[in-house]
Structure 1
Amino acid sequence: MSDDDDDDRIQDYSHATPGYRRALWTVVVLNVGYGLAEVVAGFVSGSQALKADALDFLGDGTITLLGLLAIGWSLVWRARSALLQGVFLGLLGLGIIVTSAYRVLVLQQPEAEIMGLFGVIALVVNVASAWVLLPHRSGDANVRAVWLFSRNDAIGNVAVIIAAGLVAWTATPWPDLVVAVVIAGLFLQSSWAIIKDARGDLKVAQSPA
């Protein structure tokens, strides 16, 4: 990373614009609201993939809310906030893997129709979130974290829809379990990326001018 890039990162105030604040509030409402609805759907349908995706939505809502609260903070505190977000999402990813491993021992047939329906709705919600964040996808670790998860969530939703079709076709829960692990992998990959970005911001903020 060049000195000019470091200077740009320190002097980047795109996170403080009114438009970015409105975008963040929109994403918080979309993610938390639908995440709660998907938790209920996951338990009703017995779908581990829907439960994992619901955690993804709630995690994204939490990340976005932290990013909103961090607006106006110094770069070092924004980086620390992003670091906390990355650790939190990593723990969620590990939790999904543990839960999915348990589900393998107690196989139940999830309802593919409910999986598919909520998967399509989730895809619409994530595309809407990514769309409002599209003009604000670059900046410090907090800004990049919110964009990264909104973008990756659409990938997870497509996987849920595919799993619903495979569950109906094979009459087994295995595709559902595979998708849950894939979504957990997205959590862990994004967690690593955020932690790496946050550490970079901390290094920039704490280096001599």
Structure 2
Amino acid sequence: MSHPHDHAPGTPHSHGAGASRRRLAIAFAITAAIMLAQLVGSVITGSLALLVDTAHMLTDAGGLFLALIAASLMLRPTTARHTWGMKRAEVLAASAQSLLLMAVGVYALVEGISRLLAPPEVPAQGLLVFGLIGLAGNIASLCVLAGGRNANLNLRAAFLEVLNDALGSVAVIVSAVVIATTGWTPVDTLAGLLIAGLIVPRAVVILLSSVRILMEAVPRGIDLEDLRSHLLENAHVDEVHDLHVSTIGTGLPVLTAHVEVHPACLTSGHTRVVLDELRACVREHFAERIEHCTFQLEPSDCSAEEPLPHS
């Protein structure tokens, strides 16, 4: 027996996804424009730092485009085939973004090491101009994304991508100033390596967060045994097994459990009371972390008749 959560399906999530889509569309337009400008600049100057930052912005533009598609998919209603709608589109998009970032970071490290052996000439003035253009665009995108960066994994990945772009533009500007004042051109390669060093760890963090959701790991901050103990405090409950907590998408954790109760509860009309008490227990102790709960009530020792092991 189950009891549905009294949350109107899709309303807050759809609203959030709609806001995310608008922010992402603006950020994508800005990033694509700056990427084209930096591409021209990298060809003119021959700068590795600018080339790496351009490649990074290319992946960011691609990532923002994927994020924009994901935000649109998340607005789709649930169907008989997709009972959660397309809520996990954000997780897939974040995974794709992180893999793109890792590829760019590895390329930059390999190219940077080879350039350290033979540093090319880099015109400081052109490097500075395009670095400033990139920084201005990144700051504009950050302002657009900042208000919703904690809305979901999709937006958080996009915000961090643009933030890292801004740091990359700062590195380009610094290298331009150093070359102009000292003539030491290897600083451009070092700046490129620095950008790569910033890219890879962040990409790994995003990928690991995405994998945790796709593998249906227990959300961070939830102790499954602590949850089980709270449920067992109910006077009608004898045992809790097949307890699972996972995340469909950002802000959408789900809980399922088989709850063994005294047989009399199932025949005396107490099932509604027990379900309400279990829901209240979860709401009291885990209100902001578990939104959808499904409890299957069954008589005590029912699990002994089932062939599968229970957690």
Same fold (TM over 0.5): yes
Matches of 1:196 and 1:60, distance apart in 2: 19
Alignment-derived partner of residue 109 in structure 1:
121
Deviates more, 1:74-83 or 1:191-200: 74-83
Please say if residues 42 and 51 of structure 1, whose CA atoms lie closer than 8 Å, have aligned partners that are also in contact.
yes
Q: 1:83 aligns with which of 95, 109, 131?
A: 95
Q: Distance in 2 between matches of 1:172 and 1:65?
A: 38
Q: 2:205 aligns with which of 190, 193, 201?
A: 193
Conserved 8 A contact 1:109-1:172 = no
Is the 8 Å Cα contact of residues 12 and 139 (structure 1) preserved in structure 2? no
Is 1:28 the equivalent of 2:24? no
TM-score (norm 1): 0.87
**Moved beyond 6 Å, runs of 4+:** none
C-alpha deviations, 1:29-80, integer Å up to 9, x for none?
A: 1112211221121121111111011112111111111011012343333212
1: CA distance, partners of 2:113 / 2:144: 36
Superposed, which structure 2 residues align to 1:145-156 within 5 Å?
145-156=157-168
- Structure with the bigger RCO (C-alpha within 8 Å, sep 6+) is 1
* Higher fraction of helix: 1
Aligned to 1:43: 43
- What is the match of residue 144 of structure 1? 156
**Structure 1 letter corresponding to 2:91:** A
Q: 8 Å contact 1:81–1:142 — kept in the other structure?
A: yes
SS of residue matched to 1:75: coil
CA distance in structure 1 between the partners assigned to 2:255 and 2:42 by the alignment = 50
Unaligned runs of 5+ in 1: 1-9
The answer to whether residue 188 in structure 2 is matched with residue 176 in structure 1 is: yes
CA spacing shift, 1:93–1:191, aligned 2, 3 Å: same
- State the AA in 1 paired with 2:68: L
The residue matched to 1:136 in structure 2 has which SS? coil
Instruction: Name 2:70's counterpart in structure 1.
Output: 70
Mapped contact 2:20–2:155 kept (Cα < 8 A)? no
Aligned mates of 2:141, 2:192 — CA distance in 1: 22
Contact 2:138 2:163 in 1 (8 A): yes
Number of aligned residues: 200
For the residues of structure 1 that align with 2:15 and 2:190, how far apart are their CA atoms? 38
Higher strand share: 2
1:56 matched residue in structure 2: 56
Q: CA RMSD in A?
A: 2.1
Corresponding letter in the other structure for 2:206: I
For 1:178 and 1:138, the matched residues in 2 are separated by: 32
Aligned equivalents of 2:43, 2:57: Cα separation in 1: 16
* Contact 1:109/1:171 (<8 A) preserved: no
Is contact 2:98–2:207 with CA below 8 Å preserved after alignment? yes
C-alpha spacing 1:87/1:14, structure 2 compared with 1 (3 Å) = farther
- With 119-128 and 104-113 compared, the bigger mean Cα shift is at 104-113
TM-score for the superposition, normalised by structure 2: 0.60
- Post-superposition offset of 1:207: 6.8
Conserved in 1, the CA contact under 8 Å of 2:157 and 2:206?
A: yes
Partner letter of residue 110 of structure 1? V
Identity of counterpart residues, as a percentage?
Answer: 29
Within 1, Cα distance between the matches of 2:118 and 2:173? 23
